[in-house]
Structure 1
Amino acid sequence: MLQAQPLSLYIHIPWCVQKCPYCDFNSHALKDQIPEADYVAALIKDLDDDIARFNLTNRRLHTVFIGGGTPSLFSANAIGEILSQVKSRFLIDDASFEVTLEANPGTVEAEKFTGFAQAGVTRLSIGVQSFESDKLIKLGRIHDSEQAKRAAKFAHQAGIKSFNLDLMHGLPEQNLENALDDLKTAIALNPDHISWYQLTIEPNTAFHSKPPELPQDETLWSIQEEGVKLLEAAGYHQYEISAYAKDGKQCQHNLNYWRFGDYLGIGCGAHGKVTDPTTGKVFRTVKVKHPKGYLQADRPALDQLNEVAQDELTFEFMMNQLRLKEAFTLAHFSQATGLESDLLLDQLNQAKAQELVEHFNDSWQVTEQGHRYLNELLARFL
């Protein structure tokens, strides 16, 4: 039977200093001053509309993630106002409430970290990408290696409960030694969490129109295999395809995504997913993408509201859940989708026969081979 899922909130702040050539997120390079006060007001109106639309008054909210763009361009006062308004509208457990803010390692933003902590941010995600200056230039990043290291030190000193370093591999002209050196530098800075993922060339990016020369597949496999060993040896355990954390330091917001939990998405182009157990329906929302349109007072923030078709729910659930290293049960599948668990059994048993998943104690879990051939495994559930 379909049940209400844990609720999170994603807040999108779309501005950045300049657009990186690999970035396909909804981000806009600054041409003028950020309309900070107007945007905060628009976010709160957007949130109130969603609360009314889905009857979420007095629901418990577990996590907030403020992404972008570069949210650390906002002042600590603005972030504090947003979080104060959010907390006044939901039930909150202060002891476990996770609030993540994406931050740029540049000096100006890093000097705000203490203010962000005082505003209610409990977790920072710092977009380092690499510690090699030539790689940072190729990636269009505006910080240098020393600023990245200094940002990690500021995070330790700021009173933030936890922080993540965001790191890429498979960069232009990168070899195994370069990639592992980046990881060693990150580990030495002692973050609680490292997001380590391969650079991919996405449509509608500068890299797509003028692709850089990337490492060969053999090098990419070596980087992945040796990098995972290095992270595990340092106490960072992989819990998702590109996420590694010390014990108890997993990103709870992202875990809720992968477990097919609910989340509101407010801000320019933000996506949301909400379960309505009274109607047995799952909805997805998309907000107005461009800041100019989003800030129009007479225009609703909602751009799309779509019910997820029942024949798509199985794939959507599996697409998320199979990213995780943890096991799942068929009972959870039924509670999250409202579908009978028998719908999965044939595909899961076929995958088990090929050693892509394993079955134990009423639970199913992806094997190492299943993660390696994840696209082929997911195709079974289309």
Structure 2
Amino acid sequence: MLTPPPLALYVHLPWCVRKCPYCDFNSHEARGGTPPFAAYVDALLADLDQDLPLVWGRPVHSVFFGGGTPSLFPAAEIDRFLQGAAARLRFAPALEITLEANPGTTEHGRFEDYRAAGVNRISFGIQSFDDGCLQRLGRIHDSGEAERAVKLAQDAGFDNLNLDLMYALPGQDLAMAETDVARAVTLAPAHISHYQLTLEPNTVFAARPPERLPDDDLAWDMQERCQDLLAGAGYGQYEVSAYARPGRQCAHNLNYWRFGDYLGIGAGAHGKITLGHDQSILRRWKQRHPTLWLSAAGQPAAIGGDEHIPPERRPFEYMLNALRLLEGFRTADFQARTGLTDAAIAQPLQTAFQRGWLEAVDGYIRPTALGMRFGNDVISLFLESSDNGPGDDAD
């Protein structure tokens, strides 16, 4: 039987100063003047009002402002939105509220204002501390600005910071990747995200690949070496690309990876909601373009689409998330969050165990080191299983 899991709130703020050539997110350059911040917050609250019937009475355990570049928004507008959301939703105690920030769009004194508004976690898009790499990535900040922004946030009282780093960058060698991690560790953030640059479809880099990209072997060497450096500095890996000090894992992203629920509001935002009354799982997404979404916010026209996830696809969608975690999953959680019995995943689990990709430890089924390396192959087993039929629904 489907049991509603924890609920999160994702808020998409779509504007940025300049779109990076590797970025495939729904982000839009703020051309022709200042974006309509106040009108956008009004629309966010209208969007939230429209989705509220999906989650009546359920507490929200985390809020995440993603983008785009959310730090473009004035703190007063972030505050106004959070006050409006708190009046509509039940915020759980110790709520994690994350704001993504670009070091090139932060101003002195603003971090104190974000903190006063209720934001208690900042995620910085650093990407690299090498100025040459930053230029080749199209970033608008340099390494000095990155370090200053982190220290300003710490001076403002933020002790829960994430730094995003990328590796396998154009022109990067192993020593440069190691230096990026070392400089990040020196700043003592609570959390570091470390992930490989990929050339996503419909990006500038996909159309015109950059020169001097590291090959697969060098990229793997970078990943392994940086994992060792992070572990040695006290950052435990808990997901494919996420590392944290003890107790500082990102609650919002953990909810995604554990197949939790989330409301998605704002232009292009996606949500997933478990509807206990009819034992279904709804995915909803909003119109992508900010202008179109703004003109329709709070009305059915703002919804880009609704889809109920059929039982036969739930094993794949669950594993696509859960097998990113080093802890893996418990079969009881799989049952509760998909409404299926173990029979729906018995065959692919057997295959994965036989190939040494998964192991059972202390009640969890988790990826082995080999399984983490071949994660896509592991997950594809459950897609193949889904193609063969839905398995057995639970009572």
- Determine if contact 1:107/1:147 at 8 Å carries over to the other structure: no
1:289 paired residue number: 288
1:26 paired residue number: 26
2:196 paired residue number: 198
> Secondary structure of the equivalent of 2:253?
helix
- Determine if contact 2:323/2:329 at 8 Å carries over to the other structure: no
1:264 paired residue number: 263
Per-residue displacement from partner, 1:52-87 (whole Å, max 9, x unpaired)?
2x1x22210000000000000000000001111111
1:137 paired residue number: 135
Q: Distance in 2 between matches of 1:307 and 1:344?
A: 20
1:316 paired residue number: 317
Specify whether residues 334 and 229 from structure 1 end up closer, same or farther in structure 2 by C-alpha distance, changes over 3 A only.
same
Deviation at 1:363, TM superposition (A): 2.2
- Determine if contact 2:296/2:302 at 8 Å carries over to the other structure: no
2:56 paired residue number: 57
Specify whether residues 340 and 155 from structure 1 end up closer, same or farther in structure 2 by C-alpha distance, changes over 3 A only.
same
Q: Distance in 2 between matches of 1:195 and 1:64?
A: 18
1:242 paired residue number: 241
Count of residues in correspondence between the two structures? 379
Q: Distance in 2 between matches of 1:216 and 1:377?
A: 23
- Determine if contact 1:114/1:159 at 8 Å carries over to the other structure: yes
Q: Distance in 2 between matches of 1:361 and 1:24?
A: 38
Deviation at 1:156, TM superposition (A): 1.0
Q: Distance in 2 between matches of 1:337 and 1:107?
A: 41
Q: Distance in 2 between matches of 1:98 and 1:312?
A: 31
Deviation at 1:90, TM superposition (A): 2.0
> Secondary structure of the equivalent of 1:85?
helix
Q: Distance in 2 between matches of 1:114 and 1:376?
A: 45
TM-score by length of 2: 0.94
Let me know the Cα RMSD of the aligned residues: 1.2
Amino acid at match of 1:378: I
Amino acid at match of 2:117: A
Amino acid at match of 1:185: R
Amino acid at match of 2:124: I
Deviation at 1:92, TM superposition (A): 2.0
- Determine if contact 1:330/1:341 at 8 Å carries over to the other structure: yes
> Secondary structure of the equivalent of 1:167?
strand
Q: Distance in 1 between matches of 2:225 and 2:362?
A: 32
1:189 paired residue number: 187
- Name structure 1 gaps, 5 residues minimum: none
Deviation at 1:110, TM superposition (A): 5.8
Specify whether residues 209 and 109 from structure 1 end up closer, same or farther in structure 2 by C-alpha distance, changes over 3 A only.
farther
Q: Structure 1 residue 362 and structure 2 residue 360: aligned?
A: no
2:326 paired residue number: 325
2:215 paired residue number: 216
> Secondary structure of the equivalent of 1:295?
helix
Amino acid at match of 2:175: E
Per-residue displacement from partner, 1:154-178 (whole Å, max 9, x unpaired)?
1211122401001100000100000
Amino acid at match of 1:24: D
TM-score by length of 1: 0.97
Q: Distance in 1 between matches of 2:105 and 2:370?
A: 42
Amino acid at match of 1:44: L
> Secondary structure of the equivalent of 1:171?
coil
Deviation at 1:2, TM superposition (A): 0.7
1:37 paired residue number: 38
Deviation at 1:297, TM superposition (A): 4.5
Deviation at 1:257, TM superposition (A): 0.1
1:252 paired residue number: 251
Deviation at 1:111, TM superposition (A): 4.1
Q: Distance in 1 between matches of 2:49 and 2:84?
A: 10
Per-residue displacement from partner, 1:214-252 (whole Å, max 9, x unpaired)?
101121111011100000000001000000000000000
- Name structure 2 gaps, 5 residues minimum: 384-395
Q: Structure 1 residue 178 and structure 2 residue 179: aligned?
A: no
- Determine if contact 2:71/2:105 at 8 Å carries over to the other structure: no
- Determine if contact 2:103/2:125 at 8 Å carries over to the other structure: yes
Q: Distance in 2 between matches of 1:129 and 1:109?
A: 19
Q: Distance in 1 between matches of 2:294 and 2:354?
A: 53
Q: Distance in 1 between matches of 2:220 and 2:290?
A: 40
- Determine if contact 1:104/1:110 at 8 Å carries over to the other structure: no
1:48 paired residue number: 49
Q: Distance in 2 between matches of 1:140 and 1:306?
A: 36
Amino acid at match of 2:379: L
- Determine if contact 1:103/1:109 at 8 Å carries over to the other structure: no
Deviation at 1:22, TM superposition (A): 0.3
Q: Distance in 1 between matches of 2:238 and 2:200?
A: 25
Deviation at 1:115, TM superposition (A): 0.8
